[in-house]
Amino acid sequence: MDLGEIAPPAGRYAPSPSGDLHVGNLRTAVLAWLFARTTERTFLIRMEDLDRTAVGSDQQQLADLAALGLDWDPPVIYQTTRLASYQSVIDGLRDQGRTFECFCTRREILDAPSAPHAPQGAYPGTCRDLTDAERAERRATGRAPAVRIRTDVDHFTVHDLLHGDHTAAVDDFVIQRNDGTPAYNLAVVVDDAAQGIDQVVRGGDLLSSAPRQAYLATLLGHRPPTYAHVPMVLNEKRIRLSKRDGAVTLGDLAEHGVTADQVLTHIARSLHLAADGESVNLPTLADRFDPAALPKEPWILTDAEWR
């Protein structure tokens, strides 16, 4: 896909290639595929590889998605190939007076007094209005600055297909880290707009970041996507599932005799799309899919699930 062309409406799945996908990741991928394919959208895969990655994990992730029966529209985009695009947007915002350099550490932000009603950890505006002399003084210490967006709102509201209207505080958030890496909140907005992604289906833990991203999309002249933040998969302690929980990846489960088809069937049951004892495939799930009927509560995954 030439990202310079106008792209057709699309949904996407955007994993970080830092290791094997676990069942929670796979369940979200299945839902993203179902939302896109049942609304006649293209379905794209984007590797969000700006942070730590594991060699070969991208190909293993693609193989695991294919093993479940998922298909996608090529090519797979890697964020590390799009650094120039992110920098162009950052430079444009800077030229508009929409950014400022921030020399604060995370600890300094947490320890600083917050504005009334601001959530804990919200940026208090410490570096927002530094003079040239003050910036020069901070630079002289050797501390490299991050770049923050200069927002003109306190809150922003998004509409989520599963959660309804969701309003959250929007502070002067980071769009470029102090090592020069584009921040997630910027890269995801730039990529979604460039790829024509107007439907974002992802884990419920990311709902809190949607208002920031939707605000930035609007600031850049883009229409924010339709959101659907789906329930998480938790372990028996009701903590977000991770590889530390044991046999939760396709590779691990295969060693215990659990096939990819069986994993898909278990995912389908957790979504109320398959009956006990029934084996299903993705076309069957697409025929049955109704977003309004999806469970709203997390799926608690136990060892007994695979017995």
Is 275 annotated in some ligand binding site?
A: no
Q: With contact defined as beta carbons under 8 Å apart, do 185 and 179 qualify?
A: no
Is 202 annotated in some ligand binding site?
A: yes
Rg (CA), the chain: 21
Q: How far apart are CA 39 and CA 70, in angstroms?
A: 16
Is 168 annotated in some ligand binding site?
A: no
Is 208 annotated in some ligand binding site?
A: no
Is 237 annotated in some ligand binding site?
A: no
Q: What is the pLDDT of residues 91-127, one digit of tens each?
A: 999 999 999 999 999 888 888 876 556 677 789 999 9
On whether residue 34 sits in a domain, the answer given is: yes
On whether residue 110 sits in a domain, the answer given is: yes
Q: With contact defined as beta carbons under 8 Å apart, do 271 and 55 qualify?
A: no
Q: How far is CA 198 from the centre of its chain?
A: 14
Q: What is the mean pLDDT of residues 8-27?
A: 95
Least trusted range by pLDDT, from 203-212, 238-247, 267-276, 282-291:
238-247
Check whether 20 has a pLDDT greater than 60. yes
Is 184 annotated in some ligand binding site?
A: yes
> What's residue 195's pLDDT?
96
Check whether 267 has a pLDDT greater than 80. yes
Least trusted range by pLDDT, from 73-87, 243-257, 260-274:
243-257
> What's residue 89's pLDDT?
98
Check whether 136 has a pLDDT greater than 70. yes
Q: What is the mean pLDDT of residues 159-186?
A: 96
Pair 57, 93 in one domain: no
Is 16 annotated in some ligand binding site?
A: yes
Number of domains, the chain = 2
Check whether 6 has a pLDDT greater than 80. no
On whether residue 200 sits in a domain, the answer given is: no
pTM of structure: 0.93
On whether residue 133 sits in a domain, the answer given is: yes
Query: 269: domain range?
Result: 10-81+231-241+254-306
pLDDT-based confidence at residue 2 (cuts at 50, 70, 90): very low
Is 86 annotated in some ligand binding site?
A: no
Is 104 annotated in some ligand binding site?
A: yes
Is 85 annotated in some ligand binding site?
A: no
Is 48 annotated in some ligand binding site?
A: yes
CATH number at residue 73: 3.40.50.620
Is 113 annotated in some ligand binding site?
A: no
Pair 51, 96 in one domain: no
Q: What is the mean pLDDT of residues 127-146?
A: 94
